[in-house]
Every structure is written in C-alpha cells, then in structure tokens.
A and B are shown apart, each in its own frame.
Chain A
Amino acid sequence: MKHVFRMVLKRILASVVTILTVSVIIFIGVELLPGDVAETVLGQSATPETVKAFRKELKLDLPPHVRYFTWLRNFVQGDFGNSLANGRSVAGLIGWRFANTIFLAGTAAAIAVPLAVILGILAALYRNSLFDNAISTTTLSFISFPEFFIAYILIAVFSVQFNVFPSLASISPRMGLWEKLYTILLPALTLTCIVTAHMMRQTRAAIINVLASAYIEMADLKGIRRLRIIILHALPNALSPVINVIALNLAYLVVGVVIVEVVFVYPGLGQLLVDSVSKRDLPVVQASGLIFAATYVTLNLLADVLSMLSNPRLRQTH
C-alpha cells in the first residue's frame, strides 16, 4: 500500500505543474485572439475613448505577465475573480453549470460504462460470431459519425417523428430527479453512442488477450463454464487496460460535452465556455479550462490507482 500512496503523492505534485501549464496556455491563447472584451462588450458604441476608459477600468492596460500573475495570486487565494463581461462572480457563474455538466456526464456514464463492459464481455464470449460482428459494426458506426449528427438524428426520430422526448434539454432546479432525467435523455444517449464503442472494443480485446493464457486453459480443464471463466478468471486480469479506457472516456464525457450542450441548449459548463471565449472573458475561460484540466488529471490518477489495486502483485506490501 505504501508505494500506492507514494505514487499518488508524486502524481498530485505533477498534476499541479500540469494545471499551471494549462493556465499559462489558456492565457496566451486568449491573448492571441483578435479583439478583447472591451471591444466586444461595447460593440457599436466602441469609440477609441470609451474602449480606452473601459480597458483601464478592467485593468486590461497592464502588461500581460502582470495580469497573469495578479490573476494567479487571487486564484491561489480562492478568489476566482469576476466576469469581465458582466461583472458577476466567476464562482457564481460556474458553480451550478458545472453541476449540470456533471449531472449530464454522470447520466451518460451510468448508461455507457455498464453497457460497454457487458457488450465487451458478450463479444468476447461469442467471439467472431454474428453477434460479435453486429455489435462491433454498430458501435463503430456510431463513433464514426460526428456528435452533432447523432444528436440531430436522435432529435429527428424521438422528438420530431414520435414526439416522445424533448429536443431542448433545458432543465431547471425546480424539476424532480425523474423529470430531469427525462429531459436530458437525448443528450445523454448521444454521449453514450459516442463513448461506448471505444470502451466496448477495449474490454473485448483485453479479455480475448487474457483468454490465451495458460490459466484460462486450466480453468477450462477444471470443467468450469465459459461465462464464469470470462467473468471470474479473465476479467480481473483484464481490468487494468479497461479501467484506463473508461477513465479516458469519462474525462471526455465531462470535457467533450460542449457540442452536445450547444445542440440541446443545455445549461452546462460547455455552453458557458463557448460564450466566454467569444466574449474574450478571460477569468471565466480560465476557471472553466482549469476545471476541465483538473477533471482530466483526477480521472487519470484514479484510473492508475484502481488498476494498481486490481493487481495483487502491486496491491500488497512486503
């Protein structure tokens, strides 16, 4: 167990460096974009004088590195700053939207992960059969389409044609859990279609890889049923690659929902990020970007810890 803790500690330190680097890259990226928040907000009434005055008020006239370190100092102290565009606190803007994003991603994951693992197990069990080919073809077709395409197909079928699910996933805090789930079902299904193929293929490949081992033949020669062999003998030894792919896809669910949120007009973090980038609203972009980066890093760390724990060799201390 000791080396697991040491690994986690090392990785957390490395994550801090990663996240700092990400913040610098986001800052430079926004700087490089033409125009700034003053011009965008003022719009039609942007005379050189008003723009200059507005920039001074937002402290945009200071050199970039000064602004970056001011932001960093405040951020470290827990002050995420205020939106440049409307002056509201970044924490207030992001908080509930992030919760919404996590809700959508979580729902999609709750459908996709068990579905992918079960399909992967079945595909390995009936390897090279019609069933195996059918799920491989179906899931791979879904992954090959762009997300918005799948989203519009689902809308066309379930909202327009049959009118069973809403095409706008506008949830509000007043809704109950079931109503919320009903409202976001289409975006959640879209996301499921996108991430299932990858996880299912990896589960299938990892299990088939293990099936060639001598201990699987041994289990066969002990007269154990095929399904039990796959679930009890093969899967535990195939977990490590499966966990890693699941973590990558979960991270993608949180980070990559932008397009789906836009299509379904879902009030999540992705929507906010897109709006803020077009307004050059740096504090909001920074905070959202860092939340995404932290999600990625945390999920990957979690995957490494779990795959270490799944291996008795690494789990034990001597």
Chain B
Amino acid sequence: MDKLLEIKDLYIEAWSEERWQTIVNGISLELNRGEVLGLIGESGAGKSTIGLAAMGYTRQGCRLTSGSIKLDGRELFGASQKYLRSIRGTRIAYVAQSAAASFNPSHRVIRQYTEAPVLKGLMSQKEAEQKAVEIYHRLFLPNPEKIGYRYPHELSGGQLQRAMVAMAMSCQPDVIVFDEPTTALDVTTQIEVLAAIKEITETMNKAALYITHDLAVVAQVAHRIMVLRYGDMVELGETREMLKNPKEQYTRDLLSVRTLREEKAETEKEKIILEVKDVEATYTGREKVLQDINVTVRRGRTVALVGESGSGKSTLAKVITGLLPAIKGTITFLGKELHPELRKRDKENLRKMQMIYQMPDTALNPRHRVRTVIGRPLKFYFGMKGQEAEDRIKELLDKIELTPEKYIDRLTTELSGGEKQRICIARALAAEPELIICDEVTSALDQLVAEGILALLQDLQNELHVSYLFITHDLATVKAISDKIVIMLEGRIVEQGGKQEILAPPHHEYTDKLLASVPEMDPDWLDSLLAERASSFI
C-alpha cells in the first residue's frame, strides 16, 4: 500500500467564549493512493477542520495543538509557510463547499485554473489552458472549449462546482480534499458533480478525503467511512460493512430512514382554508415567474411544494403572503378573497397566516431575548401584557419542548440552530394561525436536529389542526410529512396530488427525474443510475 496521508493523534483548538476549546480530539487516519475516505458528521463535528489541517491550514481563530500530519512521509505540523505553500495546490488540493463563493468574481474561470500550475512553473499559460479544456471535457462541462473564458457569475452552481473540481486537478495533486462539494446543489445537479468526482478519483487514481454530512452521498464515492461527533471519532469502517452493520448507536441514528407518516386522505369534510387560483406573478413586469398556479390547502393538512432552486416555489410563498402582489388570479383564505398586496390586508388575516423561514439565524433579532421574541405577537395581535403574556409564553415554550425557566431569558444568539428554529415556530404559533408557511425550515439544520423539528411540527398539527404549506427541495422531508405534493418547474406546476399517488409510478417525466436523483443508502446506487441514464441516451 502506498500511504499518502497519515494523521496521528491530531488535536486542534478554537478560540471561543474567551478560551481555547478543543474541537478535534486526537483523531488519527490514513489514506492510501487510489482510496477515498469519507468523513461524516453533523456541523461542529470537526470534519472540515480536519480536512483543512490535512493541508497544514487552520482557519482564523483555530490552532493545531499537537499530533502529526504527514503528507507522503513529510511532516506538515510546524512546517514553514514556504514549504506549505509549495505543497498546497500541487501535492494536495482543496474543493470547497460553495464554488460560487470560492471562485474570485473578478477573474475568468480558466485564469483561476491556470494560476497555480503556471505560477509554480509546471507548465506555460498555453499548455495549462489546453489542459483545462481537456479536464472540462472529462467532467462533462458543456462547451468545454469556451466555458472557461467566462466569469464565474456566468456559470450555474453545478457547472462552477465541476469547474472547481477541475481546478483542484490543475497541478495533478496526489490528494484532494472535498469539503461538502454537493451540499449547496439541487439533487439533479448533485448527480453531475458526484459523477465528476467519481471519474477523477477512480480513473486518475487519486486519494481523497470526502467530507459531508450526508451518508447516502458519501456511500457513493467512499471506500471507507469515518463517523465524527464533537471532534471525536465515533466509528471507522469499510463503507459496505458500516452500512450493513453499524456498531455505534450514533451511526445507526444517522442511518435510520425517516419514518413515513401515513397520508391522510383528503376528504370533502376538511374545509378548504387556502385556495390559490390561476395566479401569475412577475418581478420585472415582463417575464412571468409564476404561471397558471392552482393550489388548495385544507384544514389540518400538509401540502408540500417541491422543486429545484429557481422553480418559483419561494416566489409562490411571497405571492400568498402578499409580499409580491400577484398580477393575475385570486387568493382565497378562509372563505374571503385576499387583497394581492400585503399592506392592504387586515390584521386578522395577517394573524391567521404565519411564516417560518429557512435561516433561523437571520429570522431572529440577535439583541432580543426569547421572552421578547414570543411576546411581541402576543401583544400585537391580542394585546396581552404582564402575567397573562408571561404565562402564555411559558405555555408556548412547553409546546415546543424547551424548558420555559431555562430558555425564557436567553438571548437568541445563545441558542443552537435547532433551538432557534423552535423559537421561530413558537413565534408563529403565538399568533394562533390557521396556516403556517414553512420555507425550507429544515435545510439549514443537521439531519437529526431536522428530524426533531419535523416531528414537532407533526405533533403540533395533530394537536392544533393547523395547516402547513411546506416549501422544500428535499424529497426525504416531503416523504416524511406531507399529505399532498405539488411539484413545480420553471414557474409552473407540473404535477400535484396525494402523496401515494405522486410517489408511486407512473410519474410525470420531471417528477421521475427528481425522485430518481435522491441518493439512496446503497453504495451501488450512483453507478447503476449513471449506467441506466447512459443506456437510455443511446
């Protein structure tokens, strides 16, 4: 075996809350040529920190405390900046999570590809450009001869991510660190990038660290998987073996498929509380971003609005709430037609329709305490004050499963992501709404935390009979909680119906592609899917 990377007893500390805290706790790993090791864990597990440390790099506010990092036998821990610069890019390269943010907006894509090899004297500008085109070709980028000469903003997210994989290859490194390379992408785009990564690691015989929080994704590319939690190693094993027999409870939790909820059949008995009819909307006044939208939501039911980014699902939420007035069509809520514009709707209608957002961090004022956040809608809609409001806030905190005494005086910045999202839910509930619009409420959260939030929303619905309009691109979420599914593409609804009906074949062509693109916990899933698609093209 050709041992390329060897990390031993690595400890890393980060400066937070006025002291150094250990974030990576004695991790050891080995990586051989031609091997892909998956690092998996939730946020805060230390997986990115380990990935960067493999390049001898730490982010601001972090420091390597002890241990050893050997790249091809040479120690990187404590090595000179000059030596580290000489191996970065050439011997070990990095693929970042968000290609859109990691490409310099001021330079053409190909110039960023050629920068390292030309600067390090490996090839001339012209040779490097030819090489780039070759690799763009191999990674299935459209129009490979020309695409590199565009600026980053002219490429789509999936194209940029592949261009970044290409860039990591520019100096033919031995090891590549992939840091969540598909997390920011739609499921259909994710496949293209995964295929590109597989092409690189397998046919070019590179070693790679693949960092992700998604087991189903890492199962497609990694030979071995290391599960991390709070900077500790939980489990290390062969991919197939781990998926079959996980040893630790935490791994089993990550592996467990979300429980499906029984679809409640729509009956005429349930009142229609929201009816969107023939709605059209536009941002510019010319191009329509929504067309022929017809959706109904019944009382106590969950409707999932599914589509890729740019499909118009969040725009529809804006139209329903009145933030973006519809130019055509009607929105009927609780039997009354709503004014298209938010400002012209009465307070009672505003109260009965609440919203929960994707980013709980930005949806909560960092200077407010939990009491203020939940107390505001109580005062605004019901005029509650003093002891009455205090009691109601505590009742609501109980409902969202946070101990009132412990949380009521906390600043919102002192909460974790999952707790923040729970506070957002409590804030929405405080208004006693009939309908809650949930815009990607779990996509910024870790898998296990997200499942907790979904279970909470489910319990609250059973208890309060509130309806949800659930906007998401995550089909696992849809399967877990919806009664009815609405699938959107390019501003139109392509298919809608009961959950069983939509998820069971025959599908609309697009629904089929969407469903087939969701990674499964099967190491052969990607290969068989790619083989299937390849054969259907011929």
User: How many whole Å from A125's CB to the nearest CB in chain B?
Assistant: 14
Q: Among residues 99 to 153 in chain B, which have CB atoms less than 8 Å away from a CB atom of chain A?
A: 101-107, 115-116, 119-120, 151, 153
Indicate whether B258 reaches chain A with its CB closer than 8 angstroms.
no
Chain B positions 478 through 512: 1 when the CB is less than 8 Å from some CB of chain A, otherwise 0:
00000000000000000000000000000000000
Indicate whether A219 reaches chain B with its CB closer than 8 angstroms.
yes
Kindly state the separation between the CA atoms of A213 and B491 in the bound complex, as whole angstroms.
33
Q: Among residues 231 to 275 in chain A, which have CB atoms less than 8 Å away from a CB atom of chain B?
A: 232-233, 236-237
B85 and A219 form a contact (CB under 8 A): no
Indicate whether A313 reaches chain B with its CB closer than 8 angstroms.
yes
B104 and A221 form a contact (CB under 8 A): no
A233 and B104 form a contact (CB under 8 A): yes
Kindly state the separation between the CA atoms of A233 and B106 in the bound complex, as whole angstroms.
8
B57 and A221 form a contact (CB under 8 A): yes
Kindly state the separation between the CA atoms of A214 and B160 in the bound complex, as whole angstroms.
14
Indicate whether B96 reaches chain A with its CB closer than 8 angstroms.
yes
User: How many whole Å from B532's CB to the nearest CB in chain A?
Assistant: 35
Known A-B contacts A221-B88, A223-B90; A312 and B151 likewise in contact (beta carbons under 8 Å): yes
User: How many whole Å from A129's CB to the nearest CB in chain B?
Assistant: 16
Some 20 contacts from A to B, beta carbons below 8 A apart, are A213-B101, A214-B101, A214-B102, A215-B102, A217-B59, A218-B102, A218-B103, A218-B104, A221-B52, A221-B88, A221-B94, A222-B93, A222-B115, A223-B84, A223-B86, A224-B85, A228-B119, A237-B105, A237-B106, A312-B106
The CB with the most chain B CB atoms within 10 A, among A218, A221, A237, A310, is that of A221
Indicate whether B98 reaches chain A with its CB closer than 8 angstroms.
yes
Contact partners of B523 in chain A: CB under 8 A: none
Contact partners of B119 in chain A: CB under 8 A: 224, 228
Known A-B contacts A214-B102, A215-B101, A312-B106; A221 and B89 likewise in contact (beta carbons under 8 Å): yes
Kindly state the separation between the CA atoms of A215 and B88 in the bound complex, as whole angstroms.
15
Assuming A233-B106, A310-B106, A311-B105, what are 9 further A-B pairs, CB within 8 angstroms?
A215-B105, A217-B102, A218-B102, A218-B103, A221-B57, A222-B94, A224-B85, A312-B106, A312-B151
Contact partners of A213 in chain B: CB under 8 A: 101
Q: Which of A223, A237, A310, A311 contacts B89 (CB 8 A)?
A: A223
Known A-B contacts A224-B119, A236-B106; A218 and B151 likewise in contact (beta carbons under 8 Å): no
User: How many whole Å from A21's CB to the nearest CB in chain B?
Assistant: 33
A224 and B116 form a contact (CB under 8 A): yes
Chain B residues packing against A (C-beta within 8 Å): 52, 55, 57, 59, 84-90, 93-94, 96, 98, 101-107, 115-116, 119-120, 151, 153-154
**What is the chain A residue whose CB lies nearest that of B111?**
A232
Q: Which of A222, A237, A311, A312 contacts B116 (CB 8 A)?
A: A222
Contact partners of A228 in chain B: CB under 8 A: 119
B153 and A313 form a contact (CB under 8 A): yes
**What is the chain B residue whose CB lies nearest that of A220?**
B57
Kindly state the separation between the CA atoms of A285 and B195 in the bound complex, as whole angstroms.
73
Indicate whether A316 reaches chain B with its CB closer than 8 angstroms.
yes
A224 and B115 form a contact (CB under 8 A): yes
Contact partners of B85 in chain A: CB under 8 A: 223-225
User: How many whole Å from B410's CB to the nearest CB in chain A?
Assistant: 28
Kindly state the separation between the CA atoms of A147 and B7 in the bound complex, as whole angstroms.
61
Kindly state the separation between the CA atoms of A235 and B372 in the bound complex, as whole angstroms.
43
**What is the chain B residue whose CB lies nearest that of A228?**
B119
Contact partners of A224 in chain B: CB under 8 A: 85, 89, 115-116, 119
Known A-B contacts A224-B85, A313-B151, A316-B151; A219 and B55 likewise in contact (beta carbons under 8 Å): no
**What is the chain A residue whose CB lies nearest that of B117?**
A222
Chain A contact residues (Cβ within 8 angstroms of B): what range? 20 to 34
A219 and B104 form a contact (CB under 8 A): yes
Kindly state the separation between the CA atoms of A219 and B167 in the bound complex, as whole angstroms.
11
Contact partners of A218 in chain B: CB under 8 A: 94, 96, 102-104
**What is the chain B residue whose CB lies nearest that of A222?**
B89
A215 and B104 form a contact (CB under 8 A): yes
User: How many whole Å from B88's CB to the nearest CB in chain A?
Assistant: 3
Contact partners of A214 in chain B: CB under 8 A: 96, 98, 101-102
User: How many whole Å from A235's CB to the nearest CB in chain B?
Assistant: 9
User: How many whole Å from B383's CB to the nearest CB in chain A?
Assistant: 45
User: How many whole Å from A311's CB to the nearest CB in chain B?
Assistant: 8
Kindly state the separation between the CA atoms of A310 and B52 in the bound complex, as whole angstroms.
32
User: How many whole Å from B499's CB to the nearest CB in chain A?
Assistant: 38
The CB with the most chain B CB atoms within 10 A, among A217, A236, A237, is that of A217
Instruction: Please provide the 5 A-B residue pairs with the shortest distance between their CB atoms, ordered closest to farther.
Output: A223-B88, A236-B106, A214-B101, A222-B89, A223-B89
**What is the chain A residue whose CB lies nearest that of B153?**
A313
Contact partners of B57 in chain A: CB under 8 A: 220-221
User: How many whole Å from B320's CB to the nearest CB in chain A?
Assistant: 31
Contact partners of A233 in chain B: CB under 8 A: 104, 106-107
Kindly state the separation between the CA atoms of A224 and B87 in the bound complex, as whole angstroms.
10
B153 and A312 form a contact (CB under 8 A): yes
Known A-B contacts A221-B57, A223-B120; A312 and B105 likewise in contact (beta carbons under 8 Å): yes
Q: Among residues 292 to 318 in chain A, which have CB atoms less than 8 Å away from a CB atom of chain B?
A: 310-313, 316
**What is the chain A residue whose CB lies nearest that of B108?**
A312
Kindly state the separation between the CA atoms of A310 and B93 in the bound complex, as whole angstroms.
30
Contact partners of A220 in chain B: CB under 8 A: 57, 88
User: How many whole Å from A207's CB to the nearest CB in chain B?
Assistant: 13
Contact partners of B59 in chain A: CB under 8 A: 217
User: How many whole Å from B165's CB to the nearest CB in chain A?
Assistant: 13
Kindly state the separation between the CA atoms of A313 and B57 in the bound complex, as whole angstroms.
31
User: How many whole Å from B342's CB to the nearest CB in chain A?
Assistant: 30
Kindly state the separation between the CA atoms of A225 and B88 in the bound complex, as whole angstroms.
11
Kindly state the separation between the CA atoms of A214 and B96 in the bound complex, as whole angstroms.
8
Kindly state the separation between the CA atoms of A232 and B112 in the bound complex, as whole angstroms.
11
User: How many whole Å from B495's CB to the nearest CB in chain A?
Assistant: 32
Chain A positions 200 through 232: 1 when the CB is less than 8 Å from some CB of chain B, otherwise 0:
000000000000011101111111110010001
User: How many whole Å from A224's CB to the nearest CB in chain B?
Assistant: 7
User: How many whole Å from A225's CB to the nearest CB in chain B?
Assistant: 7
Known A-B contacts A223-B85, A223-B116, A313-B151; A215 and B103 likewise in contact (beta carbons under 8 Å): yes
User: How many whole Å from A94's CB to the nearest CB in chain B?
Assistant: 42
User: How many whole Å from B280's CB to the nearest CB in chain A?
Assistant: 25
User: How many whole Å from B533's CB to the nearest CB in chain A?
Assistant: 31
Kindly state the separation between the CA atoms of A214 and B95 in the bound complex, as whole angstroms.
11
Contact partners of A310 in chain B: CB under 8 A: 106
Kindly state the separation between the CA atoms of A132 and B103 in the bound complex, as whole angstroms.
29
Q: Which of A225, A237, A313, A316 contacts B104 (CB 8 A)?
A: A237
Q: Among residues 138 to 185 in chain A, which have CB atoms less than 8 Å away from a CB atom of chain B?
A: none
Contact partners of B93 in chain A: CB under 8 A: 221-222
User: How many whole Å from B46's CB to the nearest CB in chain A?
Assistant: 17
Kindly state the separation between the CA atoms of A255 and B88 in the bound complex, as whole angstroms.
51
Contact partners of A316 in chain B: CB under 8 A: 151, 154
Contact partners of A219 in chain B: CB under 8 A: 104, 115
Contact partners of A225 in chain B: CB under 8 A: 85
**What is the chain B residue whose CB lies nearest that of A216?**
B104
**What is the chain A residue whose CB lies nearest that of B85?**
A223
The CB with the most chain A CB atoms within 10 A, among B57, B94, B96, B104, is that of B104
